[in-house]
Amino acid sequence: MKTKIILLGPPGSGKGTQGDKLSEELGFAKLSTGDMLREAVRDGTLLGLKAKEYMDKGALVPNDLIITLMKEKITSLGAGMGIILDGFPRTVEQANALGEQVDIDLVLNLDVEDKELVNRLTKRRTCPKCNAVFHLEYNPPKKTGFCDKCGSALVLRNDDREETVLRRLKVYRENTLPLIKYYEKKGLLVTVQGVGSIDDIFENLKKAIL
Ligand code: AP5
């Protein structure tokens, strides 16, 4: 079984949704840089204050901040732990730094078209407390406006407004898309169709892992 896994894919492709399901089923740690940064913003830490201006614009947070953050998190887990990385790496510089620390054995690339991504993100609702994600049509919460898991009021993320979503897609194409070739050359990439039911996609991802 593969135990050091990257979830790659554009904003809204389902990395968080599938990462949570995989982490629960396999007992792996899920490390989401987006969740960590949003937590830092909420807590008002120095990292959060620095990251917020980039995140609100839909830009990437500088590599040095992200690489330092992830080095510490991965070290704290210990070598034997299964890991699912969601949202990291996002640049070749981040991928090189990760490669020095961990032997990645699988990169799962979720493939979804731009039009669908915009629809998913502008209608996504997120729990600011436990980071659970929902969609107004595709994956609605049981009680409108409230998180199924912890009961908190759901919010529209600042960067899920249409203008910022379009900017994030551009940033993805310029900075993160090259990682597809990067990991293809290493023989680690498996592309999975990211459109269809959440459960079907989950089954396809598991087949690549087990
Ligand atoms: P981050 O939080 O990582 O955002 P992202 O990569 O843009 O990804 P998303 O969380 O938007 O989408 P997702 O793929 O997880 O999709 P989800 O499962 O939620 O990063 C945010 C910001 O932080 C960045 O812009 C940057 O500023 C900064 N940052 C983070 N990491 C960084 C790094 N490494 N370097 C530099 N900066 C960094 O699903 C989306 C919606 O679709 C949901 O509503 C969901 O319910 C729905 N959905 C999921 N699957 C399906 C399906 N199969 N069918 C229909 N709907 C579905």
100-140 pLDDT, tens digit per residue, is: 999 999 999 999 999 999 999 999 999 999 999 999 999 99
- Which band of pLDDT confidence, cut at 50, 70 and 90, is reported for residue 171? very high
- Which band of pLDDT confidence, cut at 50, 70 and 90, is reported for residue 78? confident
Could you tell which of 123, 139, 157 is best to mutate to test the pocket of ligand 1, judged by most ligand atoms within 8 Å of the CB?
A: 139
Residue 124, H or E segment: strand 124-126
Please write down the HEC assignment for all residues of 26-87. Answer: HCCEEEEHHHHHHHHHHHCCHHHHHHHHHHHHCCCCCHHHHHHHHHHHHHHHCCCCCEEEEC
Task: List, for residues 129-158, the tens digit of each pLDDT value.
Answer: 999 999 999 999 999 999 999 999 999 999
Biggest CA pair distance of the chain: 46
Ligand 1 contact via 19 beta carbon (within 6 Å) = no
Could you tell which of 32, 135, 195 is best to mutate to test the pocket of ligand 1, judged by most ligand atoms within 8 Å of the CB?
A: 135
Residue-level pLDDT at 79? 81
- Which band of pLDDT confidence, cut at 50, 70 and 90, is reported for residue 188? very high
Q: In this structure, which residue's CA is closest to atom 42 in ligand 1?
A: 120
Task: List, for residues 23-65, the tens digit of each pLDDT value.
Answer: 999 999 999 999 999 999 999 999 999 999 999 999 999 999 9
- Provide the mean pLDDT of the chain: 96
Q: CATH homologous superfamily for 4-209?
A: P-loop containing nucleotide triphosphate hydrolases (3.40.50.300)
Ligand 1 contact via 26 beta carbon (within 6 Å) = no
pLDDT > 90? residue 80: no
Residue-level pLDDT at 127? 95
Nearest-atom number in ligand 1 for the CA of 7 is 14
Ligand 1 contact via 58 beta carbon (within 6 Å) = yes
Domains of the chain: which residue ranges?
Answer: 4-209
* Crossing angle between the packed helical segments 92-101 and 178-185, to the nearest 10 degrees: 40
Q: What distance lies between CA 25 and its chain's CA centroid?
A: 17
Residue 108, H or E segment: strand 106-111
Ligand 1 contact via 16 beta carbon (within 6 Å) = yes
Residue-level pLDDT at 96? 98
Which residue in this structure is represented by tokens 């898309």? 177
